Structure 1
Amino acid sequence: MAMAANHLRNSTRSSVHSILHNRFQPLLNAARFFSDAASSMPQPQPNQQSPPHSSLKDYELAKFAAIADSWWDSEGPFKPLHLMNPTRLAFIRSALCRHFKKDPYSAKPLEGLKIVDVGCGGGILSEPLARLGANVTGVDAVEKNIKIAQLHAGLDPVTSSIEFCCTTAEKLVEEGRKFDAVMALEVIEHVANPAEFCKSLAALTVPDGATVISTINRSMRAYATAIVAAEYILRWLPRGTHQWSSFLTPEELVLILQRAGINVEEMAGFVYNPVTGRWSLSDDISVNFIAFGTKSNNTE
């Protein structure tokens, strides 16, 4: 069993690296010479009002504040995230352990790492990261989310040490905060200016630190599954949770991160199996995908 697991892990890692190299290496090279390549990224519209020192949209804040009480209801509007969370965590754990040379099989493989969970919501990622030994800071611009996160984390002595703050990545940058690893999962599709948001994430990351972003691809398949099916047919999410035009393609995300000083080194897709009701890592990045990058040593 151990040999089979190692073979599967190694083959998956190899295939993901192959996809990253074949699909994105030309883009990464081009980004070094054509720094304006991402100028066509979605930009804030004139009628959108964002809070000071924040790339978030007002209506996005209101949307998530309305369902904040449901963060820890595994059958509620955040059910897809609860189902996806173990798979997201497996990718993060593996990538961080490789990069920081940690033992992935130890009880607390992330011990000693300072991690910030940007857009932490109710803390459903912050808590398992803390249980893996990380020193976690969870930030969210919705005050109700932070209150829910604090209450839930306080129920367990292991997670009660998490620092939850109602603030934004931009404010943390102004405060001069730095972290070994920066997480922004299912967040970038809700911000007004992805490029500026990624600059903030990079500014929070120490040189040679890690940045992890997960989001939804702007593909027709994603429109059919993440919006039509998830919001209107299966009703896993409240209608209007996502705007297809706000999604980024993997190529766009790679270019944006490159401009911010983050080099994407690994990428994987998330695929849902309706029979088992579980998510798994895949080479298929046509809908949900996650990217792991590292900050250049000469970038500040």
Structure 2
Amino acid sequence: MTAQSSARADELIKFNQLSDQWWDQDGAFAALHAINPLRIQFITQHVELSGARVLDVGCGGGILSEGLTLEGAKVTALDLAADALQAAKTHANEQGLNIDYRLEDILSFAETHAGTFDQVTCMEMLEHVDQPESIVQALAKAVKPGGWVFLSTLNRNPKSWLFGIVAAEYLLKLVPRGTHDHKRFIKPSELARMARQVGLNPVAFTGITYNPLTRSYALNAQDLDVNYLMACRRHEI
């Protein structure tokens, strides 16, 4: 980790320890596998991925990166958890997918790749860093003028504590215990403000809801109470 690193050491350790489970669809990252088609659906409601140059920030084991690639995008993916990144590389090679995985920090990467990408994604990462504002600023720098940035995180309120931590981690065991820290959750209004401050225009929000009876997820633009996504467009110069 460099002095400019956006990562927290404890988070890197946590995700590296789970590196062998990234592609077990019934394992620790089962929820990410389940919602990945919804994330792709939300993105493709706004942009054409085929032929687009896309940057996936905080890619982990590559679940979203592979989904974007299968839609025809040319994907560069960043993460600072070395073991998770190796799991991503290994799986992509096994699938015959060409993804440019890099062990680099978005803060420094954006400085040398400003205005390079048609679209930038950063999913389920902002709630794991100390300074999400600096990440959003770097994402805005990396995307082209007129390009799109897609974000997802968790809202901060009593319901998100109940459903995002108590239910998801302890009762339903959708994600490993200790995955989330409620005080790091971000309200949609806060995320929108971060975006606007760096030249991104919030265009759309939608929530991701979970039905424990059917064990299924769905997009719901009327319910941003727990997990939600935001689409932003960078202002034209």
Under TM normalisation by the shorter chain, which class is it? over 0.9
Q: 133, 137, 143: which one pairs with 1:195?
A: 133
How far is 1:51 from its partner? 4.1
Q: 168, 179, 185: which one pairs with 1:230?
A: 168
1:137 counterpart = 2:76? yes
Query: Separation in 2 of the partners of 1:176 and 1:89?
Result: 24
Deviations, residues 75-107 of structure 1 (Å, cap 9, x unaligned)? 11111111111111111111213xxxxxxxxxx
Query: Separation in 2 of the partners of 1:51 and 1:277?
Result: 41
Q: Which residue of 2 aligns with 1:239?
A: 177
1:51, 1:58 within 8 Å by CA — same for their partners in 2?
A: no
2:36, 2:67 within 8 Å by CA — same for their partners in 1?
A: no
**How do residues 122-271 of structure 1 correspond to structure 2 at under 5 angstroms?**
122-157=61-96, 159=97, 161-177=98-114, 178-271=116-209
3-state SS in 1 of match to 2:203: strand
TM-score normalised to structure 1 length: 0.76
| Higher normalized strand content (fraction of residues) | 2
2:111, 2:141 within 8 Å by CA — same for their partners in 1?
A: no
Query: Separation in 2 of the partners of 1:77 and 1:173?
Result: 30
TM-score normalised to structure 2 length: 0.95
Deviations, residues 12-36 of structure 1 (Å, cap 9, x unaligned)? xxxxxxxxxxxxxxxxxxxxxxxxx
Q: Which residue of 2 aligns with 1:76?
A: 27
Partner AA of 2:198 in structure 1: A
3-state SS in 2 of match to 1:237: coil
3-state SS in 2 of match to 1:170: helix
Query: Separation in 2 of the partners of 1:72 and 1:123?
Result: 9
Deviations, residues 167-196 of structure 1 (Å, cap 9, x unaligned)? 111121132252110000000001110111
Query: Separation in 1 of the partners of 2:212 and 2:132?
Result: 31
Q: Which residue of 1 aligns with 2:41?
A: 90
Q: Give the percent of matched residue pairs that are identical in Structure 1 and Structure 2.
A: 37
Runs (4 or more) in structure 1 with deviation over 3 Å come to none
How far is 1:73 from its partner? 0.8
Partner AA of 2:183 in structure 1: S
Query: Separation in 1 of the partners of 2:94 and 2:12?
Result: 26
How far is 1:276 from its partner? 2.3
Query: Separation in 2 of the partners of 1:52 and 1:149?
Result: 25
Query: Separation in 1 of the partners of 2:157 and 2:143?
Result: 30
1:63 counterpart = 2:4? no
3-state SS in 1 of match to 2:84: helix
Q: Structure 1 residues 51, 231: closer, same or farther in 2, change over 3 A?
A: farther
Partner AA of 1:86 in structure 2: P
3-state SS in 1 of match to 2:121: strand
Q: Which residue of 1 aligns with 2:58?
A: 119
1:257, 1:264 within 8 Å by CA — same for their partners in 2?
A: yes
3-state SS in 1 of match to 2:110: helix
Q: Structure 1 residues 63, 51: closer, same or farther in 2, change over 3 A?
A: farther
Query: Separation in 2 of the partners of 1:51 and 1:287?
Result: 33
Structure 1, unmatched stretches of 5+, are 1-49, 98-109
Q: Which residue of 1 aligns with 2:232?
A: 293
